[in-house]
Every structure is written in C-alpha cells, then in structure tokens.
Structure 1
Amino acid sequence: MTPQFDAVIVGAGFGGMGAAIALAQLGYSRLSILEREDDLGGTWHVNRYPGLAVDIASVTYSYSFEPNPNWTRLFAPGAELKSYAEHVAAKYDLRRSMRFGVVVERAEWDEHQQLWTVSIAGGETVTSRFLVTATGFLSQPYTPDFPGIEDFAGKIIHTTAWDQTHDFVGEKAAIIGTGATAVQLIPEIASRAHELTVFQRTPIWVVPKVDFAIPPVVRRLFARVPLTQRMARSVNNTILEGIMVVGVLHFRQAKMMNRAAALAARAHLRVSVRSKATRKALTPHYDFGCKRPTFSNKYFRTFNRGNTRLETTSIERFEPDAVVTTDGRRTPIDTLVLATGFNLWDVNFPALQIVGREGRDLGQWWRDNRFQAYEGIAIPKFPNLLSLNSPYSYSGLSYFTTIESQMAHMRRLLGELQRRDAATFEVTDRANAEFLDAVTEKLGDSVFYEGKCSSSRSYYFNQHGEAALLRPTSTSNSFHAASTFPLTDYEFA
C-alpha cells in the first residue's frame, strides 16, 4: 500500500513548520500538516491576552536561517510573532500543506504495510510514511477542579482562550496563578479593574527586563547588513547560555553564578515593592532555575497599587459570586482569570495516542517506565516517528534552538535513509539506553538535583520526580550531536 503522504506533521506552530521545511529540503513534497486550531502559529496564535510578549530577546526567538529585521522591540509583542509565523509559512509555501480545525486523536504503526495510520476526530484516517509530532511543550491547558467552580456565576477566562471583548473596567477581578503568563497579564488587568486579587500558590523568580524599542535605523541596518543581526543574536545567545547552561545545568560547579542571579532578582523585588510583608510573600523559597524564571519591570510594582492584593492562602471553594480561602475569607469577584498553565506530563507527552510496534502505547510506556527519547527525538519500537516535543529535547532557553537542532538531526537521519534506499528507521534500544544514562548523569550536577527545588512545583519535574524536559548540555553541543550522532544508533530496514 502506498501511503497518502510522505509525512503527517501534527501541529502548525514553529516546530511543525521547521519540520516541514527540513522535509521539503530533503525532497519530501507530499506533506500534510494537521492543526487543531483555526490558523497557524501555535502558542502565538492561541495566546492573545493583553501584555503578551516573548520572554527571550526577539533576535534569538526566531529561526537563524530566517532572520526578521523588523522586530519593533527587543522583546517583541505577541502579534509580531504571529506575523513572523505567517511570513515563514508564506515564504516556504507551507499553507498549501496545512489543514486547520483538525484534531488528531491517534496514530498507529502498521507493521505489515510499513506506514502510519493517523486517526482524526470525526472518523477520517490518513496514512503516511513518516509521523512527526510537533504539538509543542505547552499545548494542553490545565483547568483546576476547585469545589464549586461550576456554580460560579461570573465570567471565567482561561489565558489560552482570551476574550478580547472583555475590558475588566469597574470589575472585581481575580487571577489564579503567578507564572510567566500571569506576570505579563497581571499589570494589564490591574490597570483596568476596580479591584484585583492575585491568588499565588508558588512565587516566581523575576529579574529586570532590559527592554526597549529598536530604532528604525537599527532595523534598516539589520535588513541591509544581516551580519549585524547575526552578531546581536550571538551576543544574546551567549548571555542565555551563561544563565541556563552554567547557572542552572552546572549548578554544582557554578553555584556563585546561580546565587548572583537570585541576588539580582531579590534586589529587583526589594526596590519594586514597598510592603515588607508582600515582598516576603513574593520571595521564592527554592533555588533560582528550579522553575523557569521570567523578566518584568511592571509585575512587582503592581502590588503597590491600592486596588491589587496578593493572596497566598489556599482556595477552599467557589461560591456563585466569590472565592473562599481555607481561612474562611470570602473575596467577592465578577471575573475569574485562570493563568493555571498546562498539563505537561499527564497529557502533553504525547498529546495524542501513539501506538508503535508490538502494540507499545507511547504515553503508557513513558508513564510506566521513565520518560525517554534518544537525542530528544526518537523512541525504540516507533519506526519512522520523529517526536519533536519529547523528554530531554529542550535545549537552552529558546525554543528555536531546539527546533533547529532537531531539523539538523532529521537531515542527517533521513539523508542516510535515502542513501541506503531503506524504507524505515528505528533507534536501537542500546543507543536509547546509553543516551538516557548520559543525560541522567549530567543532570546530577544541575540545580534540579543539587539545589533546593522541593517547593518549586515546577513543570520541569514529571510524575517520577525526574527533570526530564531539558537537555543538560550547551546549545553548541546539541547542534554538534545532531550533525554527528553515530548512524549505527539506528536500524534501517
């Protein structure tokens, strides 16, 4: 049986588009990119809340092979990322392969036919030679099941389903969560609402945001002399490497750098918040890096406003017009905002049911054993599967580093497949086990295991207590490995 497509790619965000570009460069033209939302862009299409912006400098948060000289700020607003995604799709002619509003429920490897059968909600199935999962790391929103929340009579807005017609003016609002999204959103709501109560479970490390408008003369320079933008990208990458690789992943050897970052964040908090009690409540009791830190110049200062209150007591229940905390305090509210993040390890890895050889269910296998993926992209018993958002795949602080290193891995792997005129590839159990042992050993030096992370409630940790998301190497190492991994680590048939 000839499959309908060379590859089915699940997800039309930057990961899926990068995979499509790499496959097209290898000569695979029959591609189907299936996206559950109504347009491309992934998180930059789904998220539209006020204050949305990248938390990595724009020159780094983009494909290195497709620089954008038109960023208006060092930390570009979300709308510009959406426009950039549209530009990439147009330049590389990706829209013709995309289908929107398509929910992929299941994919199963057919050993006899040597292809993937992909099942879509509504009963449709399609077949492909390769399956690429590019559903993103943060794609399955988490909604807490508080007692009585279903009886709340006011409006509930999740940050991933923002109501742009809602303005909060004159309202008593509440927001649950103080992660990176909430840090951007809270100052915006506070400037509009009559009252805002921020329900915090775990404080977040926040450092000053060195943000500024990029002057038109600089943007013109980037456009005319691309080398200047590449140099700016290189400088920013070096800074990120120092924060992430040295201060976080080599915590044992570089505790002073980690402590310096925490000290800078504490100083930022001290000069920003007047109330000593509020400062204490906003101070994390875990080491810097246990949980992804963020940048903001507005967040802390919002708690100096007379209309904004920080609440750290746990929520007991909801009533039709209020939130009640475990100390009996009742907070009347009109609108509830859920900045409660995403369900990573329960449903995001993977975001659909994937069944490989011998009936192995990927999600069940990961949960029953350890989360693992060779070089963060391939799994034994899953032929012709390229899983982009996998354990130990996230490299550095920019998602684009991860995407491009995986594109390099794909080019080497599939180039060898073509050279051998083979039909399938599958990583060996030996190679997978050796990679898992190597990353586990390297993570032993990280803040996740050497630092104090027990109170961080970080999504970096899975159900087994392992920090199985980040690749514990430098970005240069990830690119080197993607281009030089032993081809004998795969079986070709």
Structure 2
Amino acid sequence: MTSEHFDAVIVGAGFAGIGAAIQLKRMGYENFVILDREDDLGGTWHVNHYPGLAVDVPTTTYSYFFEPNPNWSRLFSTGAEIKQYAGDVADKYDVRRHMRFGTVVESARWDEEAALWRVALAGGETVSARFLFTATGFLSQPHMPDIPGITSFDGRVIHTTAWDDGYDPTGQRVGIIGTGATAVQLIPELAKKAADLTVYQRTPIWVVPKVDFRFSERAKRVFARFPLTQRAIRAVTDTIYELMVSVGVVHYKNTRGRFNIAAGDLAKMHRFATIRDKELRAKLTPDYDFGCKRPTFSNSYYRTFTKPHVHLQDSGIARIESDGIVAVDGTKTVIDTLVLATGFDLWEANFPAIEVIGRGGRNLGKWWRDTRFQAYQGVTMPQFPNYMSLASPYAFLGLNFFNTMEYQMRHMDRVFGELQRRGATTFEVTEEANTRYLDRMTELLGDSLFTTGDCASARSYYFNPSGEPTLLRPTSTRKAIQEASDFPLSDYRMS
C-alpha cells in the first residue's frame, strides 16, 4: 500500500544526500524526503566513531566548496568535527526537516504506467516519488570476514563501524584484524591502553608522514571574517591532491610512475627512521605500487609496532577459537577482545545498496554484473528513468568525495533545468550516450596506475570482482565539473 507521494526520495542522509537535497531546494523542489536507516545524519561519519577517527584529506578540501567552515580545529579534523559540519550544513540549508531516520529502504521499482518510483520500506510500507536518488555512499556496507570459527569466539567482538564507546581496552589482550586506513588510525589508540595487542595483517599499507597542525583561534577569526583566506588555503590543498591523483594515478603510464616511486621512497624513509628491526620493516613493506590501494598518513602507526606489547602477525589466520586466534604458522594468541577493522563491502553489497528495478524489469545489480559496471557521468543508467545513483561506477574523483558531489550537483542542475524548461516529467540517459561514456572511461583507464602499474597483490576496493578499476572517474575535477555543466542534452531522452 502506498501511503505517501513525493516529488523525490533520497536514500541516505550523508554528505551526498545532503548535497542532493540542497540542489533540489535550489531548483524549487520542497516536497521530498530523505530516508536513512541510522538514527541521525552524517552517513559514514555518523556510523564510524572509533578512537582516532579523523579525515585523511585536509579539511580545507574535505568540505562543500559553497560552504567553507572557518571552525576546523586542525588541518586533518576529527570525525566528530566532520559529523558536526554535516549537521551545521543540514540546518543552514533547511534540509534536516526532510529527513526520516530509522527507516530501512529495501527496494525501488519503476512503475511504467504511473511513471513513478515505488519505494518499498522495511515493515511493508511503500512510498512513491517522481524522482529517486540513492545517496548510499561507497562506504556504507560493513565487510564481515569469512574466517572459520569467528562466531565461536566467547570474548567481545567489535567491528569498527559499530564501535562501543563504553569499551575500555585498558589491561586487555586485544587482537585486531586489518591494516587498512581505519586500522592505521585505530591501532595506535588501542596500543596506548591494551596490555597486549596483536595486529593481523593480510596486506601491508603505504603510510607516509602526516603534516598536521592546529588552527589558532586567531586563524579561525580570520577565516570567518575573510572567507577568501580559507579559499586560498583550499586552492593549495586542492591543487596538491589533484596533482597526486592526476600524476600518480590517471596519467601513470605517461609519467612512468615517477611520482609513485618518490612517494614510495618517502614511506620507505618513514619506516626506516621509525623501525630499526629489519625483519619487521620488511613485513610492513607493500609489494604493490604506491596508490594501487588507498595510501594513508600517520606519524604514529609505524612507531606503534616498536612497542614490546604490540605484535604483527602476517602469516594469515587459520581459525578463530573460543579464546583466541590460531595463525597459519600454528601460533595461537589468546585474546579478550577481537576488533574487526575489515572495512566495507563495496562491490557485492553496495552496487547497488538496495534493489533497484528499472524499465522493463531491468535489475540494476544483475545488469551491472551481467554486462559491466557502468554509469553515464557516474550518475545515470539507461532503462532507469528519473533515477540518479550518487555512488556509482566511474563516479569517484580520487581522494575527495566532495569534489564528486560538486559535479553531481551540477549534473542535477543541468538535467532538471532542462526538464523544467521543456515542461517534461521524465528523463533517461540513452544507451548510445552511456556506451560512448563507458568506452571513453575504459580508454582513459588504459593509461592509469590500475591498468599499467603493479597492483596484483593490493586487494584494493578500487577494483570490482572482474578486476576492472571501475570505481574511479579518470579525469580531473575541473574536467568533471565542466562536463557536468555542458554535456550534450541530447544524451538524455526527456518526455
């Protein structure tokens, strides 16, 4: 039974959902709803609140371009501050009142006859909308490792996406599985209190020194009074990160990986200066090119492994027993708490995060897996009218999600502006435009690090199950924003 009808339904109240809501308001839409399964806004910045959580992109860059924040405490701000920023933006642009929390969206189906999306919610209710946006993010579905005996462990098990704020590791024997970007932040914090900490590493991560500093109260006042000063700093951090992605990833073949070699050397010097044990250094050294897997920044990660109560286990996990972990090399470590820093399931559970059925019964997840992961401009797919997926293949612009959101908001503006100009009610990207875009993305990725570099052992979420690096949009931010502003309107059928 359909209980309510809206102009638009947005699934997800993270930064993508907030951005889409702001753009809808700019275009004159007020009858829309934002549905989220959590109990508050912020997306991954609400779900994640483990010790040490911080952004790994300078916060001068990690924010909406149209909404700079003069109140950041430091260059790499904490997770709590990022969450606060999400709330402040939602309040300023009056989108919080459109949000409904604790609402699980199960599926969405295009009703051809009514030209509407029927959105099914847990509990049996259905809402309908003219337009559908999935803003479920790339990091929304936690990955649970498939390890023999993991359900038999009698101690406490904590996944980093469901951190227990009341948990105190003081005096405990802790085992942590994972050495990705989350673990790099969490491990030093656990080591401060735990009596014994064993880190189970499958794939080493590239770690370079972190140049971080606090913003003084005087600097914050200057940012607030003269926003151009903060924009100037953003121009610098944006340019640095854009160069890193462009030179080190997108144009890897043309630069012969010189940037990646230099960055790898910096990480190597960082390890050498911190760790004197040659064998330990070797275990922490990746055997894939810098950038194949998201690198990270830390001044304390390597140093943590030099402490006598911190141990690195890299032989693999054979099984988990009721009181501890048995490694492949036969050694058993008795632990009190098992921490899972095993990241997110991007491809199997996230593309798409809900079942989406388009025109003619086309199932989005099945279509992606039967053909190839694809999305025109990283936003729309043929046979899915009035639908924009804001966490799609070829959507991500490298290191900064906000740059992705900026061009998607411009894409929305161009499509909906044309709809309103024509007095039309539906839009759908053509098969021809989608194929043309897919071919172009495939060609551009041919020069990238992911295609021409040595990424075989990286186990990176940039690659889909078929081995294609279809997460990344291999263009500059400037190019993506330009294309979002002037793509041929004939690429869409409007009626």
Q: Deviations over 1:115-159 (max 9, x none)?
A: 000000000100000000000001000111211111110000000
Partner SS, residue 252 of structure 2 = coil
**Aligned partners of 2:6 and 2:129 also within 8 Å:** yes
**Identical-residue share of aligned pairs (%):** 61
Who is 1:129 aligned against?
130
Q: Deviations over 1:295-347 (max 9, x none)?
A: 10010100010110010011011111010011211110000000001111101
**Aligned partners of 2:3 and 2:126 also within 8 Å:** no
Q: Which amino acid aligns with 1:248?
A: V
Q: CA separation in 2, counterparts of 1:359 and 1:180?
A: 39
Partner SS, residue 232 of structure 1 = helix
Partner SS, residue 301 of structure 1 = helix
Runs of 4+ more than 6 Å apart: none
Q: Do structure 1's residue 306 and structure 2's residue 308 form an aligned pair?
A: yes
Q: 1:396 offset after TM fit, Å?
A: 3.3
Q: CA separation in 1, counterparts of 2:476 and 2:398?
A: 7
Who is 2:419 aligned against?
417
Q: TM-score, normalised by structure 1?
A: 0.99
Q: Which amino acid aligns with 1:43?
A: T
Who is 1:450 aligned against?
452
Q: CA separation in 2, counterparts of 1:244 and 1:268?
A: 21
Who is 2:218 aligned against?
217
Q: Deviations over 1:340-398 (max 9, x none)?
A: 01111101000000000010000011011100000000000000001000000001311
Q: Which amino acid aligns with 1:46?
A: V
- Paired residues, number: 493
Q: CA separation in 2, counterparts of 1:119 and 1:147?
A: 35
Q: CA separation in 2, counterparts of 1:399 and 1:47?
A: 16
Q: CA separation in 1, counterparts of 2:269 and 2:446?
A: 29
Q: Deviations over 1:219-252 (max 9, x none)?
A: 1111000001011001001100111111111101
**Aligned partners of 2:207 and 2:298 also within 8 Å:** yes
Q: CA separation in 1, counterparts of 2:386 and 2:171?
A: 55
Task: Choose which of 262, 266, 269 in structure 2 pairs with 1:267.
Answer: 269
Q: CA separation in 1, counterparts of 2:321 and 2:411?
A: 52
Task: Choose which of 275, 289, 292 in structure 2 pairs with 1:290.
Answer: 292
Q: 1:3 offset after TM fit, Å?
A: 7.3
Alignment RMSD, CA only? 1.0
Matches within 5 A, 1:31-46: 31-46=32-47
Who is 1:101 aligned against?
102
**Aligned partners of 1:7 and 1:129 also within 8 Å:** yes
**Aligned partners of 1:3 and 1:129 also within 8 Å:** no
Q: CA separation in 1, counterparts of 2:368 and 2:253?
A: 29
Q: CA separation in 2, counterparts of 1:279 and 1:214?
A: 34
Q: Deviations over 1:3-36 (max 9, x none)?
A: 7111000000000000000011001110100000
Q: CA separation in 1, counterparts of 2:183 and 2:464?
A: 22
Partner SS, residue 197 of structure 1 = strand
Matches within 5 A, 1:85-484: 85-254=86-255, 255-484=257-486
Matches within 5 A, 1:47-58: 47-58=48-59
Q: Deviations over 1:383-440 (max 9, x none)?
A: 0001000000001311100011100000001100110101100000000000000011
Q: CA separation in 2, counterparts of 1:266 and 1:408?
A: 41
Q: Which amino acid aligns with 2:205?
A: I
For structure 2, which runs of at least 5 residues remain unmatched after alignment? Answer: none
**Aligned partners of 2:175 and 2:335 also within 8 Å:** yes
Q: TM-score, normalised by structure 2?
A: 0.99
Q: Which amino acid aligns with 1:137?
A: F
For structure 1, which runs of at least 5 residues remain unmatched after alignment? Answer: none
Partner SS, residue 254 of structure 2 = coil
Q: CA separation in 2, counterparts of 1:396 and 1:178?
A: 20
Q: Which amino acid aligns with 1:474?
A: S
Q: CA separation in 2, counterparts of 1:35 and 1:312?
A: 38
Q: Which amino acid aligns with 2:235?
A: S
Q: 1:2 offset after TM fit, Å?
A: 12
Q: Deviations over 1:432-466 (max 9, x none)?
A: 00000001100011110100000000000001110
Q: 1:217 offset after TM fit, Å?
A: 1.1
**Aligned partners of 2:3 and 2:127 also within 8 Å:** no
Matches within 5 A, 1:43-82: 43-82=44-83
Q: Which amino acid aligns with 2:448?
A: S
Q: Which amino acid aligns with 1:449?
A: T
